Amino acid sequence: PQPDEPQPPVLPSRPLPGQICDVVRSERPRSCCGMAMAGLRTAKYQMPEWHRRNRGVYYNAFKVGEQAERGRAEAKQLVKHAASSAQRAQEYSKSTLGQRLQDIEFWRMELQKEIMELDAETNLLAAQKLRLERALDATEVPYAVVIDNLECRERRQPPDLVIDEVERQLLKEADLIRDIRDLLKRTIIQATTQIRSNRIQKENCELDWSDKVQTYHIDDKCISYCTDSTNVQSHPSSLKFEENASTPKSWAQFSHANISRAEQEKLASVQLRSLINSIIHDASEDLRLQCGATAEAFHSHCRLLEQAKFQLEKHLEQILKDIGEEEANVVKLKKAIRDKEAYLKVAQTRLYDRSFRPNVELCRDEPQFRLVKEVEELTVFLEALKRKLMESEQNLKNLEETRMKLEKEIAVKANSIFIDRQKCMGYRLRYPVDLEVASYK
């Protein structure tokens, strides 16, 4: 507020005493002669009247001069006071404009600083959002690898088509990757929203900053005006205040509110960037650990398969050896049967030929009993050999069936090992387990 300026002193006006010029009537006796000269006497003043009238003229002249002198003194004092007051008022207005320029410059610098910081923070958040998108893209290969592993392992043959630890780890890995992808997508949406909020608040600050710059130029031009300026003119209508004009308090609160909201958005952006770092780091660590667990399950299962295949191969080797021995045994039994049949034929032929002995010669002698006993013994041996041959042939058949089963099992194990080691584990070499590194590529 502008202080009260001292008013110029005003000399009090006092009314001058009035002078009444009274004409003294002549007391001389009238005569007839006077009547004749009345017209000449009535048009003239008497000497006292003349003196009184002169004194009245002098007094009036003195009074007018005194009033004029007092008016000149007052005018001189008023001119001097008006000049000093106008000079002080102009200097005070210039001082207030200078202070106003400082206030505008302060808020302009604060807004400019906030705009630059918010713009830098938005760029950092945009870089983090790009990391999220790259990490999301990097999860496509692991997910495809896991799905391919599950599909490949569906081509295992029974009885190896089981729900083993490898399948449980692969299913767990697929669920983990899906959860990570969903989390990355939600965080990307959150980052996009925050970037939009940052840019909106930055635009608000830029509009306020632009108004401050324009206002600074206007007030800076106003502070340069003086009485010698050639570009000043009268604007009587400029005295009124605009209805939508702000107060100094609301003016400062407006910029403070813009800066406060910008600080809030910047803080939220910083926190979101920290959250993004944690999400990418934790997701990469979880995926690395799960990949290691799945790889360990693969290695353990492959070792188990190879051990089972090795045991089957050892059994197959023994079975093949047994088959060879059993085949040789069958050959021996057949040869033994043939040999015994030859002995039997000899004995039976001897008995047959001796049955043609004539008359009393057809005797039950010792050779006859010996040949009959020989035939009986040979028949028993032949029956035993034939039974043993049948057992050996059945054993040989069982060995052949076992051999086929073992060979099939070995083929199944070889197929399972090929699927797990060559197909699955070979394909998993392309697995980018470090999402944190992949997010920078």
Residues spanned by the domain of 385: 307-440
Token reading at 382: 């032949």
Q: What is the pLDDT of residue 280?
A: 92
Amino acid 152: pLDDT: 92
Q: What is the pLDDT along the chain (441 residues), one digit of tens a residue?
A: 444 444 544 445 555 444 444 444 444 444 444 555 555 555 676 888 888 888 899 899 989 999 999 999 999 999 988 888 888 888 898 899 899 899 999 999 999 999 999 999 999 999 999 999 999 998 998 899 999 999 999 998 888 888 999 999 999 999 999 999 999 999 999 999 999 999 999 999 999 999 999 999 998 988 888 877 777 777 777 667 677 788 889 999 999 999 999 999 999 999 999 999 999 999 999 999 999 999 999 999 999 999 999 999 999 999 999 999 999 999 999 999 999 899 889 988 988 998 898 988 888 889 889 989 989 998 999 999 999 999 999 999 999 999 999 999 999 999 999 999 988 988 888 776 677 777 776
Contact (Cβ atoms closer than 8 angstroms) between residue 165 and residue 213: no
- Amino acid 11: pLDDT: 45
Burial class (CB in 10 A: 0-12, 13-18, 19+), 266: buried
For residues 366 and 314, is the Cβ–Cβ distance under 8 A?
no
The tally of CA atoms less than 13 A away on the side-chain side of residue 240 is 5
- Whether 384 maps to a domain, the answer reads yes
CA–CA dist 435, 432 (Å, integer): 7
Distance set, CA 30 to CA 44, 46, 47, 49, 153 (Å): 17, 17, 20, 21, 167
**Distance from chain centroid for Cα 322:** 71
Handedness of CA 165, 166, 170, 173 (dihedral sign): positive
pLDDT at 239: 65
Per-residue HEC secondary structure of 37-77 comes to CHHHHCCCCCHHHHHHHHHHHHHHHHHHHHHHHHHHHHHHH
265 is a domain residue: no
| Cα–Cα distance, 333 to 346 (Å, whole number) | 20
- Assess if residue 44 is contained within a domain: no
Q: What is the pLDDT of residue 35?
A: 52
Q: Residue for token digits 């090929």? A: 418
How much of the chain, in percent, has pLDDT values that exceed 90?
57
- Retrieve residue 69's tokens: 């002198």
Is 48 inside any structural domain? no
Residue 141 lies in a domain: no
Nearest alpha carbon to residue 350 among 368, 334, 333, 364: 368
Let me know if residue 321 belongs to a domain.
Answer: yes
Residue 281 lies in a domain: no
Q: How many domains does the chain have?
A: 1
Query: pTM of the predicted model, to two decimals?
Result: 0.71
Helices vs strands, H then E, count in the chain: 9, 0
CB within 8 A of 84, min separation 6: which ones?
Answer: none
Residue 41, CB half-sphere, CA atoms under 13 Å: how many? 12
Taking the C-alpha atoms of residue 130 and residue 438, their distance in angstroms, rounded to an integer, is: 11
47-138 and 140-153 are packed helices; what angle lies between their axes, rounded to 10 degrees? 20
For residue 15, being part of any structural domain is answered with no
Query: Distance between CA 173 and CA 163 in Å, rounded?
Result: 15
What is the rounded distance in angstroms from the CA atom of residue 99 to the CA atom of residue 253?
18
- Kindly state the DSSP code that residue 11 receives in the 8-state scheme: P
Burial 167-181 (b: 16+ CB within 10 A, else e): bebbeebbebbeebb
* Burial status of residue 69 (CB atoms within 10 A of its CB: 0-12, 13-18, 19 or more): exposed
